[in-house]
Amino acid sequence: DAGVIQSPRHEVTEMGQEVTLRCKPISGHNSLFWYRQTMMRGLELLIYFNNNVPIDDSGMPEDRFSAKMPNASFSTLKIQPSEPRDSAVYFCASSFGENGELFFGEGSRLTVL
């Protein structure tokens, strides 16, 4: 398996633009997580899905952020409109079973100017 695949790896956009980050979890994994990493706040859990259903979105900063998982092999994290403070590395991760090992993608580095 190629592991968790994220795209794009890098995104530079201007304030106010819509940003869509994509993730393909490891085949067979039933949980998917979106994390945001910044120097100031470390690794923050934004939202996680189990069997494609959102379980906990308490970490989503505000209404500008939304996430979907239409099927077991694809998820998106959307920011609309984007702001400079959204600049961060966004990691997608997947796991299997209860407290299974979390496998991270390589991350999407977002810069909002």
Partner 1 sequence: GENVEQHPSTLSVQEGDSAVIKCTYSDSASNYFPWYKQELGKRPQLIIDIRSNVGEKKDQRIAVTLNKTAKHFSLHITETQPEDSAVYFCAASTGSTDKLIFGTGTRLQVFP
Q: How many Cβ atoms from other residues are within 10 Å of residue 26's Cβ?
A: 18
Question: Smallest gap, in angstroms, from Cβ of residue 42 to partner 1?
Answer: 4
CA distance 4 to 105: 5
d(CA 19, CA 13): 8
Q: Which of residues 11-70 bind partner 1 (CB under 8 A)?
A: 31, 33, 35, 42-43, 45, 48, 50, 55-56
Give the shortest CB-76-to-partner 1 separation in angstroms.
19
By rule CB under 8 A, what count of residues binds partner 1?
A: 21
Least distance in Å: CB of 106 to partner 1?
A: 5
Task: Report the alpha-carbon distance of residue 53 to residue 69 in Å, rounded.
Answer: 7
> 15 or 55, CB closer to partner 1?
55
- Select 27 or 80, whichever has its Cβ closest to partner 1: 27
**Residue 76: exposure state from Cβ atoms within 10 A (0-12, 13-18, ≥19):** middle
Smallest distance from partner 1 to CB 16, Å: 28
Pick from 95, 111, 88: nearest CA to 42: 88
Contact positions vs partner 1 (CB under 8 A): 31, 33, 35, 42-43, 45, 48, 50, 55-56, 91, 95, 98-102, 104-107
